[in-house]
Structure 1
């Protein structure tokens, strides 16, 4: 479940891939259910396998904590898998990791970057950083920050096309569309506007670059563009600020009944980092 393949497990345990296959087959026979579907190209997890993994992972973490307590080991340890958007991860988390890893030398960190949805159980992820309201009732979340999206454009674009005064004016502008935004439209305080544009991307970093190049109006988290706003020679200007939608929560999401200690201290650490970040701190 956590490595994604039999061969990766074989390398990790040093037991050979056929032995891994036999162990899984024996486990499935004992349980009377199929946990994994194999093909020549991929390995997929059945719903029964996902449930079994989630409950077994909780049990194994509990055993590890009990063993650590018995040995007097209070320091967090083990492999921590974290999923987050590339922009937030690369620009804010990676730069702070040296301090975290210095404080917790027995913790290994694997960061998985992507703008799409991550199934924590199926992909073996301990913590995911997600914006918006939590919809999956099977998950737990802790709020670590707040994020507000704003409309921005380059001075050159606004000089050529004019500055929109109302969200409906966006229907007559070139909007750089984020293809992964739920609903497709841009939410404002009054309503959601179904924007359109000739340029569409699945990357917020790409959209920011396109806005800096004067290719249209972008709808981005304020923290991503703060360094380009304000003062003489600013490369971007905010538009429709009076109509901006309220900030939305940024959550650390996890699936376990009780978090591994390594994940708990990481969430505490991230909350401190974001509290010191303009545009992400909780008000």
Structure 2
């Protein structure tokens, strides 16, 4: 109820406040204030109007305060990826990312049906394969070393494998994929006909690893994901010389075409360094 106090709060002159009120009254076609010698008062129209707009201004105030109370610069980055990569490689490293980038929250979306990066379903994605996905940019993070692995008990004594053809005596474990290439590529490389082999298709590579650990068959070992099991001896390489050495196979960071957001660029740089360090660890 004071034009002068309103002017001080809004950092404008009293005459500016008076001018705006006059414009508002002209637009509405009614008087909102009754001007007195040393004070102002709301007219009946002013009272009615204030009763309606007060809640609207309160909502604006609350919304503004909620935005201001959010942690400064906090950004959410949605990442599409396979569940196996999320649990076996990325998750153990997330604390390091959070420590380096406290303003970025990673929201992981693990699923077999790869999210559409180009359509904006996720901000970025980590994919496994040989590259060549249309409509996106793909940067290879690290190559994948592929060899046959299983539980030690499966290949002891007389059951030991001596040549590639010997795998035909065992169930072969594989995970569902839109573009399966591991076993076919390995069989072609070592001239093995898998036509009569018992192939056990499992939903996800995490299940493939668990089945291999339980002695259910031979799996194609993705070394970046099973490094701990190989080190501990829970899984062993069979035919260690029979490695699928396709230089295109690896883990890729997939991003939309065009410029990246600051959060996406930060994640890309961190991920590349983490992948580089993982490669260095493998060589020692």
Please identify runs of 4+ aligned residues in structure 1 that moved more than 4 A. Answer: 278-282
2:21 maps to none
Quick one: distance in 1 between partners of 2:139 and 2:73?
19
Compare CA radii of gyration and give the structure with the larger one: 2
Equivalences for residues 67-216 of structure 1 within 5 A = 78-122=75-119, 124-159=121-156, 162-180=159-177, 182-183=180-181, 185-188=183-186, 189-191=189-191, 194=194, 196-197=197-198, 199-216=200-217
Q: Which runs of 5+ in 1 are unaligned?
A: 1-74
Return closer, same or farther for 1:224/1:249 CA change in 2, 3 Å cut-off: closer
Quick one: distance in 2 between partners of 1:228 and 1:173?
20
Task: Please state if 1:241 is matched with 2:240.
Answer: yes
Quick one: distance in 1 between partners of 2:141 and 2:182?
26
1:241 Cα deviation after fit: 2.1
Return closer, same or farther for 1:183/1:224 CA change in 2, 3 Å cut-off: closer
SS of residue matched to 2:156? helix
Compute the TM-score of the two structures, normalised by the length of structure 1: 0.63
Quick one: distance in 2 between partners of 1:166 and 1:236?
19
Quick one: distance in 2 between partners of 1:106 and 1:135?
32
1:267 maps to 268
Quick one: distance in 2 between partners of 1:85 and 1:280?
23
1:94 Cα deviation after fit: 2.5
Q: Which runs of 5+ in 2 are unaligned?
A: 1-71
SS of residue matched to 1:141? strand
Does the 8 A contact of 1:77 with 1:104 survive in 2?
no
Return closer, same or farther for 1:94/1:185 CA change in 2, 3 Å cut-off: closer
Q: Root-mean-square deviation (CA), in Å?
A: 3.0
SS of residue matched to 1:92? helix
1:238 Cα deviation after fit: 0.3
Compute the TM-score of the two structures, normalised by the length of structure 2: 0.63
How big is each residue's C-alpha offset from its partner over 1:197-229, in whole Å with a ceiling of 9 and x where there is no partner? Answer: 363202111111111111111112012222233
